[in-house]
Amino acid sequence: MVYLAQDPTLADFGKDPWWLVLIKVAFAFVFAVLATLLGVWFERRVVGRMAVRPGPNQVGPFGLLQTLADGLKMAFKEDILPKAADKVVYFFAPVISVVCAVTALSVVPFGPMVSIFGHRTPLQVTDVSVAVLVLLACSSLAVYGIVLGGWASGSTYPLLGGLRSSAQMISYEVAMGLSIVAVFMTAGTMSTSGIVAKQAHGTQLSIGGLDLPAPGWYAILLLPSFVIFFIATVGETNRAPFDLPEAESELVAGFMTEYSSLKFALFMLSEYVAMVTMSAVTTTLFLGGWRAPWPITLWEGANSGWWPMLWFFGKVIALVFVFVWLRGTLPRLRYDQFMRFGWKVLLPINLVWILVLSGLRSIEDWDTESKVIAVGIPAGVLLILTLVWPSRKPQPKPSVQEQVDSRPHGSFPLPPMDLQVPPSPRTMRVVAEREPANIAAGSDSREV
């Protein structure tokens, strides 16, 4: 028997005293700041380990204070304001990015109902019936901070980086939103606490006469949506291999080129807070939220008290590790490859998956014969089409000489196919000066 914690409902919110609300808000903000400090250190250590180098290890134990030292250094740097910048928008752009990233944490459940100074309250700042739409709204509004930062700098490269970011984030917002549609359809609610509660009811696996609970995580039940959602979050947070808005090799530093001191630190803070926030959202929607994974659930007290917060943080750290792993492994995509992948791969797969899921949910109440007919006929048609579909015989690849001959007259000149490039005039002149007798005898200067 698995002990289930008391799941908070929408009726449990809005009853906390003001001081308890302040404690929750302060906890969410401190969590965001600490996640940034530890996230930068974590990323540098993990990437260093992958590159067979130590990473930060001098300032503080295991280099833990290195990020704090970097933050203090940025705070005391000179704050440069470009002459052509719009001062008001230039100042508020990084603030918008940070506020949107932190606000999204307000509807993320960190745990079940607990007792804080004698008050029973959920480990969540607030929850509404459309909490997931609040998450999408915060993610969408974060685009304004980057776009306005690039435009208000009054420079060309930040503007190009901001425009890139607007197209990128809007494109992958579509794939992200469609992935969440599958969660709505399965859970029947948009409340984040309700989605976590729905994932508690898994199936029972009988192994050797022992009934074991199988997780009801939507990452397993809705695997295509989970994969597409996580890919979209990587593109949404501008992380490698999708860090095109700040492509250093092309745009210097993208939309952050003209920023310095604390404003640059705020943009950096917003990136890492967004990464942690999207990891928390992925955990909530697809990985059971604060509920313990199996086999920890065999312990009756795993999902009660303050223990669920530990499981929640563990899942978030695991997803952050995947973000860092991708950065240390994959090269940056070209912009056309990136946009083609979002619109021509993720979007069609998502639409087909939602169509299939809708069809499966519509036949849940049918009898067995109707289900066999509904599933068997389309499968048989697809199998027949696969077998009888005429296959095109691949055309032989033309040779190099045929490709050269097919070029129109006056195209770009090509080097000789035998790669026997004649010597330069300077080489011939030097050889003629040194060995006039050989040149007069008609020797080949290419042998020199």
Torsion of CA 29, 32, 38, 41, to 10 degrees: -130
Whole-number Å distance between alpha carbons of 385 and 379: 10
Whether pLDDT at 362 is above 60: yes
Confidence at residue 421, expressed as pLDDT on a 0 to 100 scale: 62
Whether pLDDT at 130 is above 60: yes
Cα atoms in the 13 Å half-sphere on the side-chain side of 206 = 1
Lowest-confidence pick of 15-19, 130-134, 387-391? 387-391
pLDDT tens, 218-253? 998 888 899 999 999 998 888 888 887 666 566 567
SS3 of the chain: helix, strand, coil, percent, to 5 = 65, 5, 35
Lowest-confidence pick of 71-85, 124-138, 193-207, 299-313? 193-207
Going by C-alpha positions, the residue among 29, 26, 27, 14 that lies closest to residue 128 is 14
pLDDT grade for 157, boundaries at 50, 70 and 90: confident
408 in any annotated domain: no
Which one-letter DSSP state was computed for residue 188?
Answer: S
The mean per-residue pLDDT over the stretch 362-371 comes to: 66
Confidence at residue 260, expressed as pLDDT on a 0 to 100 scale: 85
Whether pLDDT at 214 is above 70: no
441 in any annotated domain: no
Supply 368's token pair: 């067995």
Share above pLDDT 70 across residues of the chain, in percent, rounded to a whole number: 81
pLDDT grade for 314, boundaries at 50, 70 and 90: very high
Ramachandran sector of residue 68 (left: φ over 0; alpha: ψ -120 to 50; beta: rest): alpha
103 in any annotated domain: yes
pLDDT grade for 318, boundaries at 50, 70 and 90: very high
How do strand 113-116 and strand 210-213 relate by DSSP bridges?
A: unpaired
Whole-number Å distance between alpha carbons of 291 and 275: 21
Whether pLDDT at 374 is above 70: no
Whether pLDDT at 211 is above 70: no
pLDDT grade for 180, boundaries at 50, 70 and 90: very high
Burial (CB < 10 A; 0-12, 13-18, 19+), residue 64, is middle
378 in any annotated domain: no
Inter-CA distances, 441 with 254, 295, 314, 436, 437, Å: 63, 89, 82, 9, 6
The structural domain count of the chain equals 1
Whole-number Å distance between alpha carbons of 447 and 442: 12
The mean per-residue pLDDT over the stretch 142-160 comes to: 85
pLDDT grade for 210, boundaries at 50, 70 and 90: very low
383 in any annotated domain: no
Question: Which residues are CB-neighbours of 250 under 8 A, at least 6 positions away?
Answer: none
Lowest-confidence pick of 138-152, 236-250, 415-429? 415-429
- Full domain range(s) for residue 73: 10-360
Share above pLDDT 90 across residues of the chain, in percent, rounded to a whole number: 19
Confidence at residue 205, expressed as pLDDT on a 0 to 100 scale: 42
432 in any annotated domain: no
Confidence at residue 420, expressed as pLDDT on a 0 to 100 scale: 61
Lowest-confidence pick of 39-53, 159-173, 184-198, 422-436? 422-436
Question: Which residues are CB-neighbours of 70 under 8 A, at least 6 positions away?
Answer: 40
Confidence at residue 192, expressed as pLDDT on a 0 to 100 scale: 92
Strand partners, 205: 212
44 in any annotated domain: yes
Whether pLDDT at 348 is above 80: yes
Confidence at residue 87, expressed as pLDDT on a 0 to 100 scale: 86
Whether pLDDT at 340 is above 60: yes
Q: Which residue has tokens 């859970």?
A: 187
265 in any annotated domain: yes
pLDDT grade for 324, boundaries at 50, 70 and 90: very high
